[in-house]
Structure 1
Amino acid sequence: MNELEFKHTPLKRISNNAKYNYILMLLIVFGGFLIFGLSENVRGPAIPIIQQDFHLTQTHLGTLLALNSLGYLLACSFTSILANKIGIKLTGIAAFLSMTAAGFIIYFSTTFPTLSASFFFLYIGNGMLEIGLGIMAARIFTKNTGMMMNLSHFFYGLSSTVAPIMAASIMGWNGVSGEEFGWRGMYLFILCFSLLPIIPSLLGKFPTENMEEGSVLSFKNLSKDPIAWLIVAILSFGVVSELAVGGWLINYLVKAYQWELTDASNMLSLFFLFFMLSRLLLGPLTDKIGFIKSIMLFSAFSGLCSFAAIIIGEKGAMLFAISGVGIALIYPTVMALLAKRYPKGTGTAITFTVTLMGIASVIGNFLIGFIIDFVTNVFSNGENDLIGLQAGYGFIALLALLCSICCYFLYHILRKRNELV
């Protein structure tokens, strides 16, 4: 709109257009996180069946999850560049389309290599979507950033809560031919929902990032900043611990305690219920008590809950779910921290941090599977999975505590510099 048009345009019309566009942006961001939560967390009930169908060891399973993280990492490395070249609108649409395509590829996977490739492709779409949504949210939510980031990620928790139950239910549905959907049909059905956020994406006008001359943030600048590396460590430890729950909790409950798949899926859904409510109800606290202090306290709470659950045994399984209260706030609060600390170049800061976090995810998922197999073979000659599973899940809990420890050091460094946000 040029100056002459602006002068002759009623303010009410401008205001209404802005509100309408803002609603479209909210639909994309909130809807995108809903889809993201579904695509990531339907795997819980599917993993034991996939493992049985393809006769996979725990190390094989860890490798499969590591390949997922590798696809995610690849997407993180190019999404910000892609958004700068073709715009965040087309980048988001491409992410949604690629996730839908992944559903079809998974459906037709018949061997472990093709399965691995299909999940790798899915997580490329997931990585593009997460970076894209992070950039969108940072540009849209300039006020009450911590609360709005947590509210956005609340929708991830909302879909994650219903995802395991939904997945277990859909796998038992019968198709037109009378055959069960199974995990292949379930993935195809769920991932087709990725087409829905494309509608508001086509209608909305996306905000751009204003860069002042001389203020451009680069990977080189960030790589020399010790604060940036501490933030990477915080996000890596926290998110690997968070994502590992979705990948390993059901497997733990089924193998360690011989739970039925439905019961284990319900426990994972309960984890995500606490996870979701934490982002909705406790998100506003992050603006009040500070981003770093919030992450430090809540990640420690999560780690201690998980360790307590392992030590108590089956009677303490509820603590696995309660740990979701603490782990939920880490990712969105780190995104808010990046938006406030690097206001000119938030997209670059998010890409730098999340890409390195992706590397940690690849290593973390592989290590969890390796630890389970290694401890099982060393301490029980491969006859009893329990001790290995406890060691693997103990590693997940340890990561949450390491996240809290890194926050402690970052908090004291920034307080000395008077740079706390």
Structure 2
Amino acid sequence: MENSSKIKMRERPKLNYFILLLVVFGGFLIFGFSENIKGPAIPRMQSEFQLDEMQLGLLLAFNSLGYLIACSFTGILSARIGIKWTGILAFSSMTVSGVLMYSSTSYAFLSASYFLMYIGNGMLEIGLAIMAARIFTKNTGTMMNLSHFFYGLSSTIAPIIASSMMGWNVFGGELGWRGMYLIMLSLSLLPIIPSVIGKFPSDDLKAEDRIPLKQFFKDKIAWLIVAILSFGVVSELAVGGWLVYYLEKAYGWSLDSASGMLSIFFLFFMLSRLFLGPVTDKIGYTLSIMLLSAFSGLCSLAAILIGQEGAILFAVAGIGIAPIYPTVMALLAKRYPSSTDSAITFTVTLMGIASVIGNLLIGGIIDGVRAFFQSSRGAAESSVLGLQAGYGFIAILALLCSATCAVLYFYLRKKNELV
């Protein structure tokens, strides 16, 4: 009887750990879907609401603003109501945003619906990052990349599923982008089940052991990490928003072909997170980020210069950009073990500001270059030049991520604090 009781006590933590893995992995699956079904949907939204590129950039920037706002308060919210209820609230808000998106009748209504979805995404990402940092105390780089692998998994199939679903015949009419968003975002209800059942890790650190949030503003290393994450993530997320549009407009590809290339990008993205996690633990997080982001930027630039024949390099770039975010999260967990929550909040919130600026710049660069060359090169050629300049900026961001990481690498090596 006593042995049976001991076995049950040992099994409970294992079962709870499995339940928490369902929440983390399921959360990243949902996150990947909500982020990357927009690629095939954006051209249809543009056509229905008659939007130009600047309005598209503004739409994505406004979404990033919602993400930023969520990042700024989620750490405080999770401390007040707990990670469990923060996650449940995030999943619920994403479901509601799908209903509102289905009902949107104007550009303003659509923007507000997207804004709510990104509020949920921001809450979810911070909550999952905090939870993962508390759970994965060993092989942190591997486990962080494995968690984000599930984001890559859903991102790989999201464009193809979204493209297919929009053409479904439902009740005598086409499902369209509205119905597709409604169905996909309703999947956010599923991770709520293990969230309710699971016992989430608490933070046992005393207040005096924590680094105050304001202290991060004085930390040079913290600012370098912010810059690294900002350049890398803006470059990563921009692919989901602009690659399908680029291939359709610059090369005249069909929606299915362009969406297929985006899926190949996320296939490489997914496999990179699955297999390169152990590499980041072995050679170090800082060196890994520096090498991988440089690879991504060079692939994207080469794809633009080669032209349509080199389009596969847009997808290959996913190998390099994929590990950046989870590896930075692992770096934060190791660099600031007593204040990971504050470090994540500081870093991701400022990264959100960069996302707002980055999306605005991409749309502005496309419009600006196109307008500059329109009188001398004609409408068709100037449009292609604008798209090349905009996507070239995405590639340059990845190279800036690598360059900034090189600065951090040599700075930490000089202080003998490499992570």
Per the shorter chain, which TM-score range? over 0.9
Structure 2 residues not aligned, in runs of 5+: none
Counterpart AA for 2:128: L
- Matched with 1:3 is none
Aligned length: 414
- Normalising by structure 2, we get a TM-score of 0.97
* SS of structure 2 residue aligned to 1:214: helix
SS of 2:379's equivalent? Answer: coil
- Aligned equivalents of 2:186, 2:71: Cα separation in 1: 23
Look up the match of 1:102: 97
CA displacement at 1:8 relative to structure 2: 10
CA distance, structure 1, for counterparts of residue 256 and residue 214 of structure 2: 48
What secondary structure, in the 3-state scheme, does the structure 2 residue paired with 1:10 have?
Answer: helix
Task: After TM superposition, list the pairs within 5 Å mapping 1:167-316 onto structure 2.
Answer: 167-175=162-170, 177-316=171-310
CA distance in 2, matches of 1:81, 1:214: 17
CA–CA distance in structure 2, aligned partners of residues 380 and 359 of structure 1: 32
Report the TM-score, using the length of structure 1 for normalisation. Answer: 0.97
| SS of alignment partner, residue 323 of structure 1 | helix
Give, in angstroms, the shift of residue 331 of structure 1. 0.1
User: Match of 1:4?
Assistant: none
2:374 and 2:211 mapped to 1: Cα distance? Answer: 52
Given candidates 369, 387, 390, the residue that maps to 2:388 is 390
> Could you give the per-residue CA deviations for residues 203-261 of structure 1, whole angstroms, max 9, x where no partner exists?
00000122135221222110000000000000000000000000000000000000000
For residues 383 and 25 of structure 1, do their structure 2 counterparts lie closer, same or farther at Cα, with a shift above 3 Å needed? same
Match of 2:124 in 1: 129
Q: Deviations over 1:66-88 (max 9, x none)?
A: 00100000100000000000000
State the 1:174 CA deviation: 1.6
RMSD: 1.1
Conserved 8 A contact 1:42-1:167: yes
Q: Is the 8 A contact 1:339 1:346 kept in 2?
A: yes
**Residue in 1 that maps onto 2:398:** 400
- Return the offset for 1:179: 1.1
User: Structure 1: which 5+ residue stretches go unaligned?
Assistant: 1-6
The letter of the residue matching 1:263 is S
Residue 374 of structure 2: aligned partner: 380
**Counterpart amino acid of 2:158?**
A
Report the AA paired with residue 156 of structure 1.
Y
Structure-2 separation of matches of 1:236 and 1:83 = 23
C-alpha distance in 2 between matches for 1:209 and 1:307: 44
- Quick one: distance in 2 between partners of 1:209 and 1:219? 16
**CA distance, structure 2, for counterparts of residue 294 and residue 337 of structure 1:** 11
Q: How far is 1:123 from its partner?
A: 0.3
Q: Following the alignment from structure 2 to structure 1, what is the Cα–Cα distance between the partners of residues 120 and 206?
A: 31
1:321 pairs, out of 315, 321, 329, with: 315
